[in-house]
Amino acid sequence: QQLDAMYPSPPDYYNIFTNDNMKRAAGTAGNSVLEDSKLRFLLPPPPPKSGTYTIFGRMWQVQDRLPSLSEQNIPQLYPEGPIDRIAELKRLNRMVIFEFLDLIDVLVKDPSQYGARTERIRDVFVNIHHLINEYRQHQAKETLKLMMREQISSKRQATEYTLAKCED
């Protein structure tokens, strides 16, 4: 008696999850319209096609893309359009060093003014990471190509080994 009051009753729709209903829902998985409206609880919802979705309290975009620096309210420290990314990464790397030296100078002269310098260093690092992250799609494609070549090579070797053993 007292144990019943401690835990809430299960929701009413748990009765829908019978073996018979599960088999009927599996049989109609390809159909978009179910004859029994109760069976719709047994099918997973369709994946979202556009917009956003929530997982564990965080919003995610359906189309996974790299947000621009302006969307993140961060100043872009390299020019728009086609650029030499390697040269820009080297320039930003040197900028980090100079900004760090400025920060040390500010800390020696007036430690209360460090905030703007640390914010500037953060902006430079975010710009560096943004340039690097723009290479992620290219890196993923090249990694996939390499993996596929390795798989083809290993399968060819296994086939040649098998054929050699069959001939013996």
| Model confidence pLDDT, tens digit, residues 37-76 | 667 777 777 888 888 888 898 888 888 788 889 988 999 9
Among 118, 131, 30, 121, residue whose Cα is nearest residue 78: 131
Higher-confidence residue of 29 and 104: namely: 104
Let me know if residue 80 belongs to a domain: no
How far apart are the C-alpha atoms of 68 and 78, rounded to whole Å?
13
How far apart are the C-alpha atoms of 125 and 96, rounded to whole Å?
7
How far apart are the C-alpha atoms of 168 and 166, rounded to whole Å?
5
Does residue 34 carry a pLDDT above 60?
no
Does residue 36 carry a pLDDT above 70?
no
- Position 154 scores a pLDDT of 97
9-18, 24-33, 149-158 — most confident range? 149-158
| Residue span of the structural domain in which 37 resides | 2-46
How far apart are the C-alpha atoms of 64 and 91, rounded to whole Å?
29
Let me know if residue 12 belongs to a domain: yes
Among 51, 61, 70, residue whose Cα is nearest residue 123: 70
Let me know if residue 20 belongs to a domain: yes
Let me know if residue 111 belongs to a domain: no
Let me know if residue 40 belongs to a domain: yes
How far apart are the C-alpha atoms of 168 and 152, rounded to whole Å?
24
pLDDT in tens, 116-139: 999 999 999 999 999 999 888 899
Structurally, the chain folds into a number of domains equal to 1
* pLDDT grade for 32, boundaries at 50, 70 and 90: low
- Position 18 scores a pLDDT of 84
Average pLDDT of span 67-88: 91
Let me know if residue 113 belongs to a domain: no
DSSP the chain: -HHHHHSPPPPGGGGG--HHHHHHHHHTTT-SS-SSGGGGGGSPPPPP-SSEEEETTEEEESS--PPPTTTTT----S-SSS--HHHHHHHHHHHHHHHHHHHHHHHHH-GGGHHHHHHHHHHHHHHHHHHHHTTHHHHHHHHHHHHHHHHHHHHHHHHHHHHHHHH-
Let me know if residue 7 belongs to a domain: yes
90 contacts 44 by C-beta, under 8 angstroms: no
Let me know if residue 96 belongs to a domain: no
